[in-house]
A = this chain, B = another copy of it.
C-alpha cells in the first residue's frame, strides 16, 4: 500500500510540458524586468516609485479625489502598513492630505492636493510613453486583446474578490 501511495504521489505531480515551460520562463522574465523598467523611468523623470505614482493616480480618478486609506489600499493592493508609510511620505511632499473621517473617526480620508494633481498631470505623459514603448507598441493589436483576456483569467485566481478592479461603488458601501 505504501509503495502504491508513493507511486501515486509521484505520478500526481503534474509537470509542465515543454511549451508550457517555455511560456512560463519567458513570462517570469517579464515579471522580473517590467516592474523594474517602470520604476526606473518614474524615478528618473519624477523622483518617485511606480507605487507612489499609482497611488496618486488612483486618487486622481476617485470622486472628489478623496479615498479612505483602506479603499486606497485595496485599489493599489498594498498592505495597510506599507500604504501608511507611503502616505506619510507623500503627505510630507505635499501631494496628499490626511484627515480623520467625520462619521467614523477611526478611518482616514486621503485627499489629493492641488500639488499632487499637478504632479500626476506632469508625470503621466512620460509614464504613458514608457508603457507604450515597453508594452503596447511591442504588441500587435490582437495581442493587446489577448493580454487583456489572459490577465482577466489570471486575476480570477489571484484576486477573486476583484479588489484591484473595484468600481467607485465600493467607496459608497454601507457601513
B-contacting residues of A (Cβ < 8 Å)?
A: 13-16, 19-20, 22-35, 37, 54, 76-77, 125, 128-129, 131-136, 138-139, 143-159, 164-165
Contacts of A154 in B (CB 8 A): 30, 34, 134-135, 138-139
CB proximity of A8 to chain B, nearest CB, Å: 13
Q: A135-B24, A153-B139 are in contact. Are A145 and B77 (CB under 8 A)?
A: no
- Which of B23, B145, B165 makes the CB contact (< 8 A) with A151? B23
- Which of B19, B33, B76, B152 makes the CB contact (< 8 A) with A148? B19
Contacts of A150 in B (CB 8 A): 139, 143, 146-147, 150
A29 touches B156 (CB 8 A): no
Complex Cα–Cα for A31 and B146 (A): 16
Q: What is the interface of chain A mostly: helix, strand, loop, or mixed?
A: helix
- Which of B28, B35, B139, B144 makes the CB contact (< 8 A) with A31? B35
Known contacts A31-B31, A134-B158, A146-B147; 14 additional CB pairs below 8 A are A14-B132, A16-B132, A23-B144, A23-B147, A23-B148, A24-B135, A25-B165, A29-B151, A29-B158, A32-B76, A32-B77, A33-B158, A138-B154, A139-B150
Q: How many copies does the complex hold?
A: 2
- Which of B20, B136, B149, B159 makes the CB contact (< 8 A) with A16? B136
B147 touches A27 (CB 8 A): yes
Question: Could you say which of A15, A156, A157, A165 has the most chain B C-beta atoms within 10 Å of its C-beta?
Answer: A157
A129 touches B14 (CB 8 A): yes
- Which of B14, B147, B151, B164 makes the CB contact (< 8 A) with A128? B14
